[in-house]
A and B are shown apart, each in its own frame.
Chain A
């Protein structure tokens, strides 16, 4: 089980959280082409390495936040609030 460090509540067990997919994907304006809209909806990087992703503490404070997780090892490198820039952790494994 992953131990996830909610920025508001502290470390909690994974079962309290809901996964929210890749973070930092900006919703485009309504008048973009269909190809761009499809890319926004469906195309993800499928990162092998450090991935910025959203989590929601659904059985806790209820807030979304972002985390940097290495998809190869499941190790978390940082937890940060929605709206703040992605911290620089390099290519740490």
Chain B
């Protein structure tokens, strides 16, 4: 956890299991049930159950972050349903951006509106961070879980620091 602007910290997340599930409603339902959810989360929302977290990337796509015990349950639940389940644990790296200026820093790299009213807690989406494809998930009012492809990690981290530095200077100038 490194402070990159006043009251704003950036941390690399430890390795975790990430699964991308593509399939029709039956497959998404089966996976959600195995994670302890009543139904798959609606579009652009995340939901956590006893077996892990499901993030709805697209109408036929879930990103699943299972707990250590949850992985086997997902495999079992999907065994009889047509689907595509790909482990992308090593493809992505995760960052946690926290602090009062976190939304402002992201807004410097992405055209989305990060106001709480339009990007509420629990919302997630794939988008662009500067030139790199990224997934942004608001886990709390002032904290964001960011996932990018591994080769983009150093670039995205540098861009976040660059914007944070600019914000720090603008705060000094006030």
Contact = CB atoms under 8 A, between A and B. Distances in A.
Contacts, number: 37
Contact of A9 (B60, B111, B125, B133): B125
Contacts of B59: 8, 61, 63
B128 A59 contact: yes
B102 interface: no
A15 B126 CA distance: 13
A15 B58 contact: no
Interface in B88-140: 111-112, 125-128, 133
B77 interface: no
B57 interface: yes
Contact of A59 (B44, B60, B61, B127): B127
Interface residues of B, number: 14
Contacts of A20: none
A61 B20 CA distance: 13
Contacts of B111: 1, 12-13, 15
A61 B58 contact: yes
A61 B59 CA distance: 7
B43 interface: yes
B128 A61 contact: no
A60 B125 CA distance: 7
A16 B128 contact: yes
B161 to A, nearest CB: 22
Interface of A: 1, 8-9, 12-13, 15-16, 59-63
